[in-house]
Amino acid sequence: MHVFVTGATGWVGSAVVRDLLGAGHQVSGLARCQEKAAALAATGAKVVRGTLDDLDVLRNAASAADAVIHTAFNHDFSRFAENAEQDRRAILALGGALRGSERPLLVTSGLFGLTRGASELEVVSPASPRKSEATARDLAERGVRVATVRLAPSVHGAGDHGFVPILIRLAREKGVSAYPGDGSHCWSGVHRLDAARVYRLALEQGVTQSVYHAVADEAVPFKDIAQAIGRGLGVPVESREREHFGWFAHMASANMAVSSEYTRGLLDWMPSGPGLLTDLEHPGYYAE
Domains 2-151+190-214 and 155-189+218-286 in one fold: no
- Model confidence band, residue 128 (pLDDT cutoffs 50, 70, 90): confident
Whether residue 127 has pLDDT greater than 70? no
DSSP states of 151-207: EPSEEESTT--SHHHHHHHHHHHHTSEEEETTS--EEEEEEHHHHHHHHHHHHHHT-
Please state the domain extents for the chain: 2-151+190-214, 155-189+218-286
Whether residue 126 has pLDDT greater than 80? no
Instruction: Provide the CATH topology of domain 155-189+218-286.
Output: UDP-galactose 4-epimerase; domain 1 (3.90.25)
Q: Specify the range with the lowest mean pLDDT, choosing from 89-103, 123-137, 161-175, 270-284.
A: 123-137
Whether residue 109 has pLDDT greater than 70? yes
pLDDT of residue 61: 98
- Model confidence band, residue 124 (pLDDT cutoffs 50, 70, 90): confident
Which residues, in sequence order, are CB contacts of 111 under 8 Å at separation 6+?
118, 150, 151, 152, 153, 188, 215, 256, 257, 258
Whether residue 103 has pLDDT greater than 80? yes
What does pLDDT average to over the chain?
A: 96
The architecture of the domain spanning 2-151+190-214 is 3-Layer(aba) Sandwich (3.40)
Whether residue 136 has pLDDT greater than 70? yes
pLDDT of residue 288: 83
- Mean pLDDT for 230-245 is 98
pTM above 0.85, yes or no: yes
